Structure 1
Amino acid sequence: MKYARPLPAYLTKRYHGWKATTYAEDKGWYRRLAEDGQHPRAMVISCCDSRVHVTSIFGADQGEVFIHRNIANLVPPFNPDGHHHGTSAAIEYAVTGLKVAHLVVLGHSGCGGVEGCYDMCSGNAPHLEESASFIGRWMDILRPGFEDLPQGDDATRKRALEKASVLISLENLMSFPFVKKAVEDDMLALHGLWNNIGEGGLEAYDPASDGFVAI
């Protein structure tokens, strides 16, 4: 593959630093993970945003959390007749293969994907309306959330849409037959969270109040 290039020096240096410290100090644990396979208790579906560091937020070590990232932490509806189901495949593997006990959808503040959806649905991002826009077609999943937004200024409505991305994903999760069965059999619990990056805050969706409350 002629277009591949050597790894940047700063990443190579960081790798060697990790191998000489973190790995060397816990080599037995890494080897056990390699031999025994993974047995995570939870799956987290989070945004691709580099500022959302799932393992740091939950203080998780290797092997503890099965993580899937995509733009705006979205889950599409169950649709076996479609194509390229990366997110759906990850969910299927986590629930039916790994049998995780918890499935978390983690949204966050300042989400670029959500802002793109907001602009697209407001008519301010025509390029995202094009059929060739992968981002636009992915953000179509969130369109119903935009249509249900309350009145207010743009900042307030965008934050509401960030949280709507979590709720829509939770609803879509229940359209997967194997997820629905696992939930109804008390083998799987679904959780909706929203992370305020700047404040280090974490809010959880509370069905009783139909809102997000601080943890």
Structure 2
Amino acid sequence: MTHLPERLLSGYRNFMSGRYSSESERYERLAREGQKPQTMVIACCDSRAAPETIFDAGPGELFVVRNVANLVPPYAPDSEFHGTSAALEFAVQALKVKHIVVMGHGRCGGISAALGGLSEPLSPGDFIGKWMSLVAPAAEAISSANLLTAAERQTAMERVSVRNQVDNLRSFPIIKEGEEKGEVTLHGAWFDISKGELWVMDPESGDFERPAI
């Protein structure tokens, strides 16, 4: 009897005979010297949009934090628990990352919920509803855009949310200071699951464009 799903054990066997076998020295070096990633990615929990897969990243390359709808709560130094804020603090202060990327994606369930996709809370705690209230003002504005189709509103909200999360990053003094000193660069991106397309946010205009490949 195993204590993990067989699919995970099978994947692990493939990992050991494949990637780990070919990169064992790199793993050993990372274990010995610690991690020094240059980039942090704030992504959604969605199983279809894994940053390490999309960016073909090797071990030690990306410091990734994932939450529902890739949100960044505004800076709030209180006594509550702040998982994303803790990851940001560690990435900037301890790891000294050079880049922070907020990456949204198409068909995001959290964004759908913010736009009214859930008629009832999933549980008495309504954790998703409370979490997605962080983007409520934008969601209300986009929901009222009757000239857009439901799919167009969804995509618009996903991209507007990325812009909002980049703005929220600047509410953290250590990030704002790092950006002003040129030590940290903030980025926005959006991934289309169905087509595999990556769209990158222009830092000046906020528009999303396909990078040259």
Q: Same fold (TM over 0.5)?
A: yes
Provide the residue aligned with 2:12 in structure 1. 15
Distance (Å, rounded) in 1 between the aligned partners of 2:171 and 2:103: 19
Please point out which of 193, 198, 204 is paired with 2:194. Answer: 198
Counterpart amino acid of 1:169? Answer: Q
Counterpart amino acid of 1:187? Answer: E
Q: Which runs of 5+ in 1 are unaligned?
A: none
Provide the residue aligned with 1:116 in structure 2. 113
Distance (Å, rounded) in 2 between the aligned partners of 1:214 and 1:147: 28
Note if 1:91 corresponds to 2:84.
Answer: no
Please point out which of 68, 71, 75 is paired with 1:74. Answer: 71
| Aligned CA distance change for structure 1 residues 80 and 213 (closer, same or farther; 3 Å) | same
Counterpart amino acid of 1:81? Answer: D
Distance (Å, rounded) in 2 between the aligned partners of 1:142 and 1:38: 33
Distance (Å, rounded) in 2 between the aligned partners of 1:159 and 1:204: 14
Distance (Å, rounded) in 2 between the aligned partners of 1:57 and 1:134: 28
| Aligned CA distance change for structure 1 residues 143 and 156 (closer, same or farther; 3 Å) | same
Question: TM-score if structure 1 supplies the norm length?
Answer: 0.90
* Cα shift readout 1:123-160 (whole Å, capped 9, x = no counterpart): x62427x8721111110111121133244222111111
Please point out which of 152, 155, 177 is paired with 1:156. Answer: 152
Provide the residue aligned with 1:44 in structure 2. 41
Distance (Å, rounded) in 2 between the aligned partners of 1:191 and 1:7: 37
Helix, strand or coil at the partner of 1:148: helix
User: 141-150 or 104-113: which moved more?
Assistant: 141-150
Please point out which of 201, 208, 212 is paired with 1:212. Answer: 208
**Greater than 4 Å deviation, 4+ residue runs:** none
Counterpart amino acid of 2:36? Answer: H
Provide the residue aligned with 2:173 in structure 1. 177
Please point out which of 112, 119, 125 is paired with 1:125. Answer: 119
User: 71-80 or 19-28: which moved more?
Assistant: 19-28
Q: Which runs of 5+ in 2 are unaligned?
A: none
CA drift of 1:12 comes to: 1.3
Q: Pairwise CA RMSD of aligned residues?
A: 1.7
* Cα shift readout 1:175-195 (whole Å, capped 9, x = no counterpart): 011111000110000000011
Provide the residue aligned with 1:142 in structure 2. 135
Counterpart amino acid of 2:133? Answer: D
Counterpart amino acid of 1:174? Answer: R
CA drift of 1:9 comes to: 1.9
CA drift of 1:10 comes to: 2.2
Distance (Å, rounded) in 1 between the aligned partners of 2:54 and 2:80: 33
Distance (Å, rounded) in 2 between the aligned partners of 1:61 and 1:112: 28
CA drift of 1:107 comes to: 0.3
Question: TM-score if structure 2 supplies the norm length?
Answer: 0.91
| Aligned CA distance change for structure 1 residues 207 and 35 (closer, same or farther; 3 Å) | closer
Note if 1:167 corresponds to 2:160.
Answer: no
Counterpart amino acid of 2:8? Answer: L
CA drift of 1:82 comes to: 4.9
